[in-house]
Structure 1
């Protein structure tokens, strides 16, 4: 591979929600040069690629920054970084106004006020939110964008991240990028578990199928501290289409009912995000399924609005209605759970960071879905984290120089060695499918009602280690193959860490998300704390940290 060295002040890995906003903030508030490395195309990449129909993290009327923290803490059963959530809450409305000024249409009433969809949610016409963000980024002279480049590892020197290595998916180039500061904004991880739409429909899932846990994988291998992987996210969605249910539940106030027409969520406890899922799983397991969102009887105008909303955001649901010559007014919408995902925007999985979004690796920041500790940040919360990271970087690198280190061929050979491997017994697709089968059956996937046991996790751990070893012998014919191989490797490392986190929380704190069959009850006396880990010399070392309050000041000690 042709080796290309690039130097920049700030390297942003991932041109999605948080990455773009971080780059934009640096460009608008300093004279530093920013390089965004994106494995796809910034205009339509990441979780916002297909658009979104609401801003789901907003401080609405009657709400405060403190009440937002209380809501997140309550919904997450107390296991949140209150300091991080509070810092996000303080910026939510500001970044909302910022994206509106860039061209996003936010619906308003006759008084000119935002139309609410709930206490913390407002309606938008967001099918073009990513192109709007991409246009803002590309218009800045000091921002360069390197597209179709897959970053796979950090460059470290003296325990500090000084850059990253990746390769082009379009030609035969290996990039060595050096920077004064590096921001990881690659998103969370999909594809770890066997999907509920397998084979040719396997990419019809809740989370972006192209978010492979690359940022997690890089951090794990480099020895960064990780947190909250056991707090998985499992979405409650419209069956088969995997379209959002919140659009119906909040849009027309539809309640969840079983096959007998009975509302069932309340009998399982408070209607938290995970409990709505758990209640649905239990109803199906006990023979009262299928379960639905009760939409029969909605008005003609409401039905039109639902069709419009789904055409903007999840066309498969509108097409399903059309194909069956039906609609929500005449047929209830069947619902089901997805496979589990590891994502720090909805739950708390990710890098352990301080309030400035610094990771435990000096020189490396994390923002958005890849950053842990702060659930329910959604789009605007990711914007805020990108902004916070950028502001910290501007302060930190004023007098810093780019490293003059030069890598030898032996330093990068492991990345493209797969070109030299002889065609082996397995393909990357077969390794990935084996991983998904293992995780589904032994680490709490759909087939197990999301439950797991210590004995099953031991089997999962052994099998994942075997697959990591097998992945070393995979063979690549071109850069596309090489990219897929590294996708599998990153997912395997996420799975390895996840298994140890699930094992370490010897309780059940979040039904379905973390359903420990050996310990079916919540245990505040012993586990009202964070489960963290550091990977070193092939082993995931798990430990616990005490809770951090909203007014606490936490800083890393490098």
Structure 2
């Protein structure tokens, strides 16, 4: 742990291996999963629709592994206007894991936990390489190193604040205290870090120049590998990392079960080490028979990143196979329920077609709400009342009570979501999934 990896490179290799093992005939792409199918207290499959063709899919299964990512876009992002959609976590993670497991009736855990990463401001470039590889410092705008000046604060969070390395959430918290006191913006001392690493070569001008070039390349490569927009922002603002520092800031909150997040489904522990009350037959199975979860879908298991989530996925998949072998019966799928879900899936298209000509501009219509406007309302609500960026990540009971009230209106208005095409239909369902994640978090 705490070592540099090239995650963006090995994901492709892992995906290729999976493709070769399964065969393309068994891989369905561009399908948005809507709802789980149940047979009593057992999972029976899932339904979804193609975002490219007029096809509705009914997947029947003896076991299901949910690994549909976390939730992004539930809070108003720092990046708006032309930067809309820029986020630290993938924007296509819209709460589908949580929605699926919740709708299946699975017990959820750590729903109060949201992940707020500190990243390079505006383009969300990763800071890990700078802290771990370049050994950089982060300071306030007036030059104070908050990790040193606020060390006493860590005593209040013992024993967690006294371990090494200091947990990321506490590191971030100390920096946010500086910002709250008007000492922002926070700065990553990239120029200082590069200079220190090159200092060992200062007596040899040729070697020094070569090392500086190497460090400069590594600095840009770090962003070009993972966050290209951060490299573009550096270029657009004449930022040379070896010459000047760069702003860092806390991002808007996300819901994830990995990467030091914890929000997700409550799953069975491993048979060999889990206490009896934490094990109910199969590793990583939720409280719904046959429904397994991994990665961002499984909660209360924070210390898993790309490598750990991959390992958890393998564990969960093997446990699912064991479940199938020991429970080798095909669950029943209610045909009437499938038709009901199909009608609900395509309802936004029908609402749009029935009402679009009522106004000269179909984007504004008293009979429906388009997904983009629905998303803006949802994000504004969460940002202002549930501790988003504009509220400095703080909230209180009256604010949360107001959020509960407003979310009831959002749930009512979700019945009037309208979509002009399959892409907008996907956007409608993304927002429904986000809304359910929000409701559980607020509660």
The TM tier, using the shorter chain, reads: 0.7 to 0.9
Aligned to 1:137: 18
Shift of 1:413: 1.9
Alpha carbons 1:206, 1:338 under 8 Å: kept = yes
1:201 aligns with 2:103: no
Aligned to 2:92: 210
Paired with 1:491 and 1:313, the residues of 2 have a C-alpha distance of 25
Larger CA Rg, structure 1 vs 2:
2
1:323 aligns with 2:236: yes
Aligned to 1:435: 378
Paired with 1:289 and 1:224, the residues of 2 have a C-alpha distance of 42
Paired with 1:450 and 1:123, the residues of 2 have a C-alpha distance of 30
Could you say if the C-alpha distance between residues 263 and 425 of structure 1 is closer, same or farther in structure 2, counting changes exceeding 3 Å? Answer: same
1:382 aligns with 2:309: yes
Higher helix proportion: 2
1:497 aligns with 2:378: no
Q: How does 1:147-546 map to 2 (within 5 A)?
A: 147-266=29-148, 267=150, 268-269=153-154, 270=161, 271-297=166-192, 298=194, 299=198, 300=212, 301-346=214-259, 347-355=261-269, 356-398=283-325, 400-403=328-331, 405-408=333-336, 409-421=339-351, 422-423=354-355, 424-500=367-443
Alpha carbons 1:465, 1:496 under 8 Å: kept = no
Alpha carbons 1:127, 1:313 under 8 Å: kept = yes
Alpha carbons 2:46, 2:60 under 8 Å: kept = yes
Paired with 2:440 and 2:331, the residues of 1 have a C-alpha distance of 31
Cα offsets for 1:227-277 (capped at 9, x unmatched): 001111001000111101111111211111111222112314244211222
What is the Cα-based RMSD across aligned positions, in Å? 1.7
Moved more, 251-260 or 133-142: 133-142
Question: Secondary structure of the residue that 1:359 maps to in structure 2?
Answer: coil
With structure 2 as the length reference, what TM-score do the two structures score?
0.82
1:127 aligns with 2:8: yes
Alpha carbons 1:344, 1:368 under 8 Å: kept = yes
Cα offsets for 1:292-347 (capped at 9, x unmatched): 11222323132321112222121222233333333222111211000000100021
Question: Secondary structure of the residue that 2:45 maps to in structure 1?
Answer: strand
Paired with 1:394 and 1:142, the residues of 2 have a C-alpha distance of 18
Could you say if the C-alpha distance between residues 209 and 264 of structure 1 is closer, same or farther in structure 2, counting changes exceeding 3 Å? Answer: same
Cα offsets for 1:134-190 (capped at 9, x unmatched): 211111246711001011111111121110010111111111110111110101100
Could you say if the C-alpha distance between residues 141 and 248 of structure 1 is closer, same or farther in structure 2, counting changes exceeding 3 Å? Answer: closer
Higher strand proportion: 1
Paired with 1:225 and 1:166, the residues of 2 have a C-alpha distance of 23
Question: Secondary structure of the residue that 2:378 maps to in structure 1?
Answer: helix
Could you say if the C-alpha distance between residues 405 and 296 of structure 1 is closer, same or farther in structure 2, counting changes exceeding 3 Å? Answer: closer
Aligned to 2:208: none
Moved more, 320-329 or 379-388: 320-329
Structure 1: state its 5+ residue gaps.
1-119, 501-558
Alpha carbons 1:345, 1:375 under 8 Å: kept = yes
Structure 2: state its 5+ residue gaps.
155-160, 199-211, 270-282, 356-366
Could you say if the C-alpha distance between residues 404 and 442 of structure 1 is closer, same or farther in structure 2, counting changes exceeding 3 Å? Answer: closer
Could you say if the C-alpha distance between residues 440 and 497 of structure 1 is closer, same or farther in structure 2, counting changes exceeding 3 Å? Answer: same
Shift of 1:411: 4.9
Size of the aligned set, in residue pairs, is 381
Shift of 1:200: 2.8
Q: How does 1:86-125 map to 2 (within 5 A)?
A: 120-125=1-6
Question: Secondary structure of the residue that 2:28 maps to in structure 1?
Answer: strand
With structure 1 as the length reference, what TM-score do the two structures score?
0.66
